[in-house]
Amino acid sequence: MSVNAPELELRGITKRFPGVLANDRIDLTVKTGAIHAIVGENGAGKTTLMSILYGLVQPDQGEIRVRGELVRFSSALDAIGAGLGMVHQAFKLFPTLTVAENVVYRNEPKKGWFIDRDAAEAGVRKLADSFGLGIDPKARVEDLPVGVLQRVEIVKALYRDARVLILDEPTAVLAPQERDGLFVIMRRLKAAGRTILFVTHKLNEVMAVSDRVTVLRSGRVMADLKTSETSPKAISKLMTGRDIEAVARPSLGNGGEHLLRVNDLGVVDDAGLVRLDRVSFEVQAGEILGIAAVAGNGQSELIDALTGLKPASSGSISLNGVDITQAEPAQRRLAGLAYVPEDRHRVGTAAGGEVWSNLLMGYQRTPKFRRGRWLRGTAVKEHARELIAQYDVRVGSENTLVGTLSGGNLQKLVVAREMTHPAELLIADQPTRGVDIGAIQFLHRRLLEYRDQGRGILLISAELSELLALSNRILVMYEGRIVAEFDAASTDEAELGIYMTGGHLAGAVHG
């Protein structure tokens, strides 16, 4: 081990998954005691790279050195042994155990055959206090708020003597106030000589805490920059600068008529945090309104409130002139709302049901498919077969169980069902996620046709190129607010990226 060796050194890391080159010859050098940010869009390869570094995934090629020493991790235990610690996005804690019990798990101080609970609690308290983490070792994990859980995870890593902490999108689950607290802790850890790998896609956070930043795009390193010498705009351009597919700029169908009107809509979550902050907008007939936002910035709450799956706390929603603020989901569907949910597994389908029963959902009470209380079996099956053919869903038959479908096919099934409704407004949340290129173009054409029939679409997508290609207008959401509105023809990914990541606030956060 040489004295001047960097804490971490990755050379030529390559990882191929079926159909995707997730990491392509990635080089990364992280100095001891630095906060090093890794940024990139969804699918840029951040998660794969961190999984490789933490031993969860084995690279196809490339080498990893920790303090100059060549290592090969076959599991996370090896990585922990080499002084790495990871705080996952989804916390890995036992809810019914105490903080101390969670922290010492697998390294319990023992007194004879028994766990030395006092020593465990004292050790955890000392460690937590030395970094000002402010957690009670005796508290039960299930009683703690998310922000504290994250600090428990940090202590857990520190207890295992982690010199390098990997924080995987740590702010995604935090409210702004909690986030500032996390930054304070990160700076303290840095002052104590620990190294932090900070994975994020929020550029104001990069500017606020990091020393260096590595930008990934499509599995490659686009740049490795000193944070103080770069700008959110430059990073955003590096992150998103792919060529946008040329699509004829859409025109407004029979515009002017307001389909959906949202007025001062607010959502407060169970913990009392404001998730959606007085949002107002309209969707017109013949228009695709795009919403651009990084996950967790209020768009899910907005959609839940619009579809009636979770109630709004304040404000009003009207569809086709009918107030649906308090309406049940069924009434909203009758009022003319169709919805492609983001989570096709948990919301959009029932895995244990057949293709036909999944395609029927939402229509079962329409005259076409029932006679009184009786289901019209033939019409139901025929409808299923039609949709399967029209949308090229690859299934054995309409009786195939949906749980056996691949992700892309499942998505086609959900989109087929929702777009066939005679609804005036379609809410499409990530309509092309996980679908292959050919199918994406097919679905895009369908969305444009839908709009050309004089109907409206509210389109939420993590793919900015998709938003830019399809939308007439684009709203940008950040931390529960609409922070900007653009004419889709006169903006670009870099500009959207700055607003989505809070880059327009970067100056304020710094000061």
- Site of interaction with other proteins (CB under 8 A): 17-20, 22, 42-43, 45, 47-48, 219, 307, 309, 328-330, 332-334, 339, 341, 346-353, 357, 360-362, 364-365, 370, 373-375, 377, 403-408, 433-434
Closest separation between CB of residue 153 and other proteins, Å?
A: 20
Give the separation between CA 162 and CA 153, rounded to whole angstroms. Answer: 12
In the block, tokens 């995707």 appear at 20
Q: Which amino acid belongs to residue 72?
A: R
Beta carbon of residue 411, minimum distance to other proteins (angstroms, whole number): 9
What is the nearest approach in angstroms of other proteins to the Cβ of residue 307? 7
Nearer to other proteins, 97 or 347 (CB): 347
Closer Cβ to other proteins, 284 or 349, answer by number: 349
Structure tokens at 112: 């004879």
Which residue lies nearer to other proteins by CB, 42 or 75? 42
Nearer to other proteins, 168 or 277 (CB): 168
- Least CB distance to other proteins at residue 318 (A): 19
CA atoms within 13 A on the CB side of 105: 14
Q: Which of 57, 123, 59 is nearest to 86 (CA)?
A: 57
Whichever of 124 and 337 has its CB closer to other proteins, that residue is 337
- Closer to other proteins by CB, 202 or 473: give it: 202
| Other beta carbons less than 10 A from residue 508's beta carbon | 9
Alpha-carbon distances, residue 441 vs 247, 435, 446 (angstroms):
11, 10, 9
Task: For other proteins, give the closer residue by CB, 43 or 296.
Answer: 43
Q: Which H, E and C letters describe 176-229, residue by residue?
A: HHHHHHHHHHHHHHHHCCCEEEEEECCHHHHHHHCCEEEEEECCEEEEEEEHHH
Nearer to other proteins, 122 or 350 (CB): 350
Using an 8 Å Cβ cutoff, are 262 and 306 in contact?
A: yes
Q: To the nearest whole angstrom, how small is the minimum distance from the Cβ of residue 428 to other proteins?
A: 14
Taking the complex as a whole, the smallest distance from the CB of residue 48 to other proteins amounts, in Å, to: 5
Task: Work out how close the CB of 49 gets to other proteins at its nearest, in angstroms, rounded to a whole number.
Answer: 9
Q: State the minimum distance, in angstroms, from the CB of residue 380 to other proteins.
A: 9
b or e along 435-464 (b: 16 or more beta carbons within 10 Å of the residue's beta carbon)? beeebbebbbebbbebbeebbbbbbbbbbb
Residue 232 near residue 486 (C-beta atoms within 8 A): no
Q: Which of 13, 19, 10 is nearest to 438 (CA)?
A: 19
